[in-house]
Structure 1
Amino acid sequence: MVKSSSAFVDSKRHFKILDALRGVAAIVVVLFHVLEFYSGGDHVKQIINHGYLAVDFFFMLSGYVMAHAYDDRWSTMTYKDFFKRRVIRLHPMIIMGMTIGALLFYFGESNMFPKIADTSTWQLILITLIGYTLIPVPPSMDIRGWNEMHPLNGPAWSLFFEYIANILHAFILRKLSKILLGVFVVLAGIALIHLAVSSPQGDIIGGWSLEPEQLQIGITRLLFPYMAGMLLRRTIKIVRTRSTFFISSLLLILMLCIPRIDGYDNLWVNGLYDALTVILIFPIIIYLGAIGEIKDKISERVCTFLGDISYPIYIIHYPFIYAFYAWLITEEIPIEIGFWTGLGLVIFMIILSYAILKLYDEPVRRWLSKRFMKK
């Protein structure tokens, strides 16, 4: 049997199809960002239009997996043990992502990132050290020009909210009854729908800045999917069946790649699509992934590989995207060349992610586990 990447000897059996779906979503995110430049900042023209919803899928998947992995362990597990596990699992790659962001920072210099040219080395070092802690920086400390809470590696905002979810999970959410958790899920779903249909751009994109509006978007995008994932794990009995990888992957890709709904005419319609995708379709995809059983070695290897690279490629890809955008701007690269170069970049990042996983992430996590976890 091919084992999924884990540093803990007592880890529960993985839902390998769910792991693979995380990988599929992560690759779609990378393609979304590679092609985003050619939309000219217009969300309606975005080629892989709903790739941003992968973050909401990650949050729901995280809630499901966290409930599965930990909710029956609290009689023997301390808060300290729980948080050490989460830091060991997530933080080595956060540090790697920030390091890559620092190394590639000046390669992103262009009029798209107006603050890079005026950023000194000591400012870069300071932001890198802060980034290692995942403490967000305010817009006043931005060194790129996009007001990101993590200007060296924009997608790290979702890991910041993942840590918030873990804190809520440990101290509050795990203690809720299914009924009370269900009430909170309904309320969070209403908030998500309101965010989506009232959005001035007709979507739920956002969450990456310490600005109040962005924080509201981020917490709204976090709460429903994470709690819904927990509730799904608690309430729906899992009965193993045939492999569901193909159908669940196809459905996920379809929901992330479907063109903009109703264009400029009724922006709220696309917002409603976003909300209903998260509320109705993502639980179905996760359920299909959870009940699926892999029965041949090739499928098992594919699913394991996709699961293994899912987190590394997500957390390291964006520094390369910054540099890619700068190259597209300064050289005025047409989409015909930019697409194929971007596709090559995606392949490169898949290979690099696997190499970093095996040469850095897994060894570091094993060492940290042996050093800091109870025997």
Structure 2
Amino acid sequence: MKQGQIRFDALDSWRGIAALLVALFHFQAAGFFYDFPLIRNGNLAVPFFFVLSGFVITHAYRTSLVRGSDGWRFVIRRFGRLYPLHIFTLGIFVLLELAKLFMAARAGLHSSEGAFAGTNDIPSLIANVFLLQAVIPFPELTWNASSWSISTEFYTYLVFVAVFLGLGRYRMWGSVAVFIAAGVLLVWLDTYHPDLNLASGLGLVQCIFGFFAGNLTYELYLKLRENSAVRGTVPELLATAIMLLLFWFKPHYTTFNILGFSAAILLFSYEGGTVAKLLRVRPLLFLGKLSYSIYLVHFIVFAVIFAGAKVIEGKIGMTLIKADGVHERLAFGPAGLMDLMALGYLVSIIICACFTYYFVEEPGRKFFNRLSNRMTGVRAPIGQGANAR
């Protein structure tokens, strides 16, 4: 099998699991799940995505980025991988804001925040359209809050292609330089600006550091692939332990988390043990396939549930949402009932993700792949076969 056609199925399954953790992290319901460390720290899955993205994209494209036309094809293809679903989900949020206007005008139902205001205002909408929502500083995450990482990832792709095409045979040293520079900056930000939010530039630094950590992890993967010590069940158990410990304790320094994820991804990439075999079961592979849709769709489902709860509160005069000092939580029954609702929320997300994957994400990806071939006059796709998100 050609190098670019190898699929890292166990890593794909981890991506699906991580997407569900992000979804549960955002779903604030007063159940037992809410305070479970693996879920409370579920946002740590995003740096994991960055490292994994750097790893699989390097796998897919490291030998293909040679000429300027290759760079254009890469950028068009990556844009086509991210943008169709992003603009679709952004459109859903715009419709929800229009629904606020309609309900206020026709039914007299007013939300706590007016339409097209706050984190869903017009300037941030324009930034979201151009994938600038986490590149241009904003005081908070806006619109589909999860899409901040899509913004940073697209512009990180531009850094990646500039390094690979601009430095030629010195590209690996360029990657090392970017990795070190981003890492030093990230440590400085975590130390002296710990309250900096992801939309103010911190997210972009995280993404660049994580992506190039994944890039260099892939180079290490190539050097160690004949070494039997990194294959098998024991290394995979170690990798699983690393993942669980990071999600359980969530160390303060993002650099530490990213380096830990890099080690876990390296050990799982060889897929030679029992844990990898368990991760290759069809349901988990299917979750991995849906991971991007799960990630972008879940915040819509969450927003609809909370908006619906607030409307019902106003109608029946019963408290359904309670503030815990930091967040608002759904709290209208015992903890077990709230956990059942969280499970129903996950099922709803997966159903919606199936729709967006087959009718938005995949058609959009294929369209831009064809477009990239036409624009650069190349038939054979580059990077084909790798499970790059």
- Separation in 2, partners of 1:50, 1:195: 20
Match of 1:271 in 2: 252
1:79-121 per-position Cα deviation (integer Å, ceiling 9, x unaligned): 22111111222222112221232333467899xx854x2439x
1:191-227 per-position Cα deviation (integer Å, ceiling 9, x unaligned): 22232233445xxx7322xxxxx21x12321222111
- Separation in 1, partners of 2:262, 2:279: 27
Match of 1:292 in 2: 271
Match of 1:264 in 2: none
Secondary structure at 1:155's aligned position in 2?
helix
The answer as to whether partners of 1:32 and 1:51 remain within 8 angstroms in 2 is: yes
- Separation in 2, partners of 1:361, 1:104: 21
Match of 1:88 among 65, 80, 85: 80
Secondary structure at 1:101's aligned position in 2?
helix
Aligned sequence identity (%): 22
Secondary structure at 1:95's aligned position in 2?
helix
Match of 1:239 in 2: 225
Matched, 1:16 2:1: no
Amino acid of the structure 2 residue aligned with 1:161: T
Match of 1:3 in 2: none
Secondary structure at 1:78's aligned position in 2?
helix
Shift of 1:345: 0.7
Matched, 1:197 2:191: yes
1:234-284 per-position Cα deviation (integer Å, ceiling 9, x unaligned): 23335384477776456434422x157xxxxxxxxx524x442222x1111
Matched, 1:168 2:194: no
Match of 1:322 among 295, 299, 303: 303
- Separation in 2, partners of 1:29, 1:62: 16
Amino acid of the structure 1 residue aligned with 2:14: L
Match of 2:262 in 1: 283
- Separation in 1, partners of 2:252, 2:211: 19
Amino acid of the structure 1 residue aligned with 2:294: I
Aligned length: 330
The answer as to whether partners of 2:182 and 2:209 remain within 8 angstroms in 1 is: yes
Higher alpha-carbon Rg: 2
Distance 1:367 1:226, change over 3 A: closer
Amino acid of the structure 1 residue aligned with 2:47: D
Match of 2:47 in 1: 56
What's the C-alpha RMSD, in Å, of the aligned pairs? 3.9
Match of 1:230 among 208, 211, 215: 215
Matched, 1:182 2:176: yes
* TM-score, with structure 1 as normaliser: 0.73
- Separation in 2, partners of 1:71, 1:222: 19
The answer as to whether partners of 1:157 and 1:207 remain within 8 angstroms in 2 is: yes
Matched, 1:346 2:337: no
- Separation in 1, partners of 2:261, 2:217: 11
The answer as to whether partners of 2:183 and 2:209 remain within 8 angstroms in 1 is: yes
Shift of 1:64: 1.3
Amino acid of the structure 2 residue aligned with 1:193: V
1:111-168 per-position Cα deviation (integer Å, ceiling 9, x unaligned): xx854x2439xx989976764443439999x9xxx743xx331111111110111000
Distance 1:345 1:104, change over 3 A: farther
Shift of 1:302: 3.5
Unaligned runs of 5+ in 2: 105-110, 314-319, 322-329, 380-389
The answer as to whether partners of 1:105 and 1:152 remain within 8 angstroms in 2 is: no
Distance 1:253 1:173, change over 3 A: farther
